[in-house]
Structure formats: structure tokens, C-alpha cells
Structure 1
Amino acid sequence: MEGVKFYSPGDLATGYLLKQAEEIIVGYELNSLKDINIVLELFNCTLYLDNKVYFKNWTEEYIEHLNEKCKGIKKDISCYFTNISEANIENYVKDIRFNFAEDFLTLFCKYKLYNRIGEGVFTRILERDYFSIQQICHYQKLVDNYETVVKNVLLKNPLNAELLFDQFVIDHSDALSKKLYFPKSLTKSEMSILIDSYIDTEKANLNYLRLIVNNHNTREFFVSDELKWKAKKHIHKQEEMHFRDNSGLEFGYEIIFQEDLPEPVIAKSNGR
């Protein structure tokens, strides 16, 4: 991945990336935006200042100078996005680096591109895999404004059932985990059909199948006993296939406390 990226104020790479961000902000010349990735990198640079991530040796005057530079950058970014339309949006999104994809979606929502990018064009963007449905579902405004599109894409691929479990079942105590949003019109019946098709696919992940079996139903998310039983049979089938010709690898450790040992520690290896 290339370019300055803002992850969080406490990220381990912050110091190194902040130095790059500082150099980019200081060296930026107004009205010089010609590439979408440069725009998105500049947006990330401004996030360091927005989140008050500074070097200790920066004076208040220098911080104010950088903030003034960022105001000009933000104004240029806003103007840049006003030029994006249905006619040319694919020319922009096709070149976006993977690490900047969600930054583009953030600015897509900020500058309300959904007011001028119709469902047909947005559908084509998703069909061509410029963005994943998971990335789209991180933005409530996108889900709300393209509800039919998002719903159709979700239900089209059985593997998207994993997103339901990511949101409704898996623990989100991790501060880095991001909430997922789903179309309000997505019914429990449609969720069940998606889970059912997921169980049938050969790509079903054993960990998610176990989540189906052990799911504790709530008002938001429900898995029927029939689906739980079906997932349980699929797990058994997968485990049988995996261990049929695979006897596994046996290994173990033994620790012995021995009196009058000639050395403090003796380590020996005997096979496995």
C-alpha cells in the first residue's frame, strides 16, 4: 500500500506517517489536484491535524500555520468532488488504491454524491468490484440512499451471510471494529434465505457454520432450528472430509523437575 494513511491517533505508525503528512501539507500548492489518489492522501493528511496529532516540538504558531494550509486543501478537495458526475465517476473509482477506497466513500457521503449518482451507475460500480459490499455497508447514508441496490447485491451472494454474523453475533468490543448497516427493507425471511444458501455453498466457513449452530436468537437476528440443524450436518460433513485422509500430527511437551540436575535447564527433543 502506498501513500499517507490515517488509521487512529494511537496507531504505531503514527509518528512515521505524521512526518510524511507534515511534508505533504507544507509543500502543497493550491489548485494542484490532478489525481484521485493524491486527493485521498491529502484528505488523510488533514485528518492528523483534525485529530490534534502533533509532534511535541511543534509550536502553537506552527500548528496554526498547518491548520491554515489544511483549510486550503479541504477547499480544493471540495471543488475536486464537485466535478464528479454520473458521466465520469468510473474514471475516478477505477484507479483508487485499495487502502484509500473507504476514504473515497467517506467523501462521497460528505459531499452528497448520492444526490447526483443514480442507482444504475452505482449498481455498475458495485458489479465491477470497485468497492465491496462490506465497505458500502459501513456507511448508513449509502445504504439508505441506495437501499434497493445494496439489498440486491447482498442477497445475490451467499457469502454475504457472514456480514450478518459479523454485525449481529460477533463481539464488537474491539474499538477498531466498524458497525455495519443493512437496508431497512431487508426482512428476517430474506436473511434466513441468505443463511440457508450460505450453508449450501462449498465455500461456507466452519467458524461461521458454528456461529449458526450456537446462535442465541434476538429481536434483530434470528436463526431457525431447521437452519441450525442443517448447519450442524454440514459441519459434520466437512469435518469427515477433512479428516478422512488426514491422520493429523501428534506432538506434546513434558516438563520434569529433577533433583541434582547437572545443569539449570536441559532441553531434549524426541521425535515430536
Structure 2
Amino acid sequence: MNRVKFYSINDLLYGHNLKNCESSLNDFDLGLRDVTDVNDIIELYNIKKYFDNEVYLVEWTSDIIKQFKGIVSNNYANVARFIKSINNDNLLSIYKGVSREYTSDFWELFDKFKAFENISEDKFEKFMGESNVLLLNILRCKNVTNHFGEIIRKICLVTYHLQLNYS
């Protein structure tokens, strides 16, 4: 994957990811990339995590770091705006566009920006039946889990009973 993915500050790949940060931020700054694709949105979120944790390449000067922080800051409002625009009509199509590596980040953002408030229980239940969501990613999101607790519980019980029947 050539996109940036933040795993932790102890990640051995952070050097590679920071090089990708550099390239992506320059593209965002020059207007070569719009923050309108779900994967661009999630990538910018991952880039922000590096800067929030003050993880930088050693060759970056304080001026470069300041410049990159400005690019992240100038574009981060687009992340919030995009995620908050998720609703009953576009949840499935947006989620289907999420790269496999970014699915847990999608749910983090969905939880953080309370996009779940734009989704009815009926649509969420239908979404869960039509998508290949890893339930663990949702269960890590306290707000989403609280909001759709009954639906999630029902899915867990059905899954458990199906497993018992196949055992």
C-alpha cells in the first residue's frame, strides 16, 4: 500500500509511512489531490496521527514540520465535513470504497465525528447485512456500539447460533 497508515509510534514502518506523508502532503498542498475520496480522507487522518504524536523524519527541519502541520490543519476540516456527511443514502457506497487497510480507521472516524447519528436503525441493520463489516472494528467504537447496541447484540446472537449449528 502506498498510502499512509499509522499503526503506533513504535511501528517499524513509520519511516516508510513518513516518506509517504511527505509526498501526500505536497500533493494536497499543490492541489494535486482533493480531499473528497474516502481513502484520501482516511489517509489524511492517518497523517494527522503522526503529527499529533510528534513522529517526524529526522531530516525534516522545524520549518518543514511547521509547513506540513499547516497543510494538515488546512485540510482536516474536510475530513470532518466528509465523515459528517455520511447518511442513510450513502453509507454503503462509501464503505464499499474504503480500502481494506483503512476499515478500522473508517469506524474510528465514524465514531469520532458521530456520523452514526445520521443513520437510522433500519438502515444500519440493512447495512450490516449487506456489507462485510468486521464486527470487531465496530465493537471498538464506544459511541457506535452504544447507539446501535440492540442491533449489534442481535447480530452477535445470530452469528453465535449459526456457529453452534455448524459445529
The normalised TM-score by structure 1 is 0.56
Q: Using a 3 Å threshold, how does the CA distance of structure 1 residues 91 and 129 change in structure 2: closer, same or farther?
A: closer
Aligned partner of 1:133 in structure 2 is: 135
Aligned partner of 1:177 in structure 2 is: none
1:122 aligns with 2:124: yes
Distance 1:19 1:99 in 2: 18
Distance 1:155 1:87 in 2: 27
The Cα shift of 1:102 comes to 1.0
Aligned partner of 1:21 in structure 2 is: 21
Residues 92 and 131 of structure 2 are in contact (CA less than 8 Å); yes or no, is this contact kept in structure 1?
Answer: no
Residues 126 and 132 of structure 1 are in contact (CA less than 8 Å); yes or no, is this contact kept in structure 2?
Answer: no
Read off the aligned partner of 2:6 and give its amino acid letter: F
Question: Could you say what secondary structure the match of 1:90 adopts?
Answer: helix
* Match among 132, 148, 151 for residue 149 of structure 1: 151
The Cα shift of 1:52 comes to 0.7
Residues 42 and 105 of structure 2 are in contact (CA less than 8 Å); yes or no, is this contact kept in structure 1?
Answer: yes
Gaps of 5+ in 1: 159-193, 203-272
Distance 1:33 1:128 in 2: 27
Question: Could you say what secondary structure the match of 2:9 adopts?
Answer: coil
Read off the aligned partner of 1:76 and give its amino acid letter: N
Aligned partner of 1:87 in structure 2 is: 89
Read off the aligned partner of 2:42 and give its amino acid letter: L
Larger-gyration structure (1/2): 1
Q: Following superposition of structure 1 onto structure 2, how do residues 1-272 of structure 1 map, counting pairs within 5 Å? A: 1=1, 3-29=3-29, 32-158=34-160, 201-202=166-167
The normalised TM-score by structure 2 is 0.89
Question: Could you say what secondary structure the match of 1:105 adopts?
Answer: helix
The Cα shift of 1:115 comes to 1.3
Question: Could you say what secondary structure the match of 1:4 adopts?
Answer: coil
Distance 1:102 1:128 in 2: 18
Residues 84 and 114 of structure 2 are in contact (CA less than 8 Å); yes or no, is this contact kept in structure 1?
Answer: no
Read off the aligned partner of 1:48 and give its amino acid letter: Y
Question: Could you say what secondary structure the match of 1:96 adopts?
Answer: coil
The Cα shift of 1:2 comes to 5.1
Question: Could you say what secondary structure the match of 2:146 adopts?
Answer: helix
Question: Could you say what secondary structure the match of 1:28 adopts?
Answer: helix
Distance 2:83 2:140 in 1: 21
- CA RMSD, aligned part only? 1.9
Residues 39 and 102 of structure 2 are in contact (CA less than 8 Å); yes or no, is this contact kept in structure 1?
Answer: yes
Greater helix content: 2
Distance 1:111 1:96 in 2: 17
Distance 1:16 1:128 in 2: 35
Residues 93 and 130 of structure 1 are in contact (CA less than 8 Å); yes or no, is this contact kept in structure 2?
Answer: no
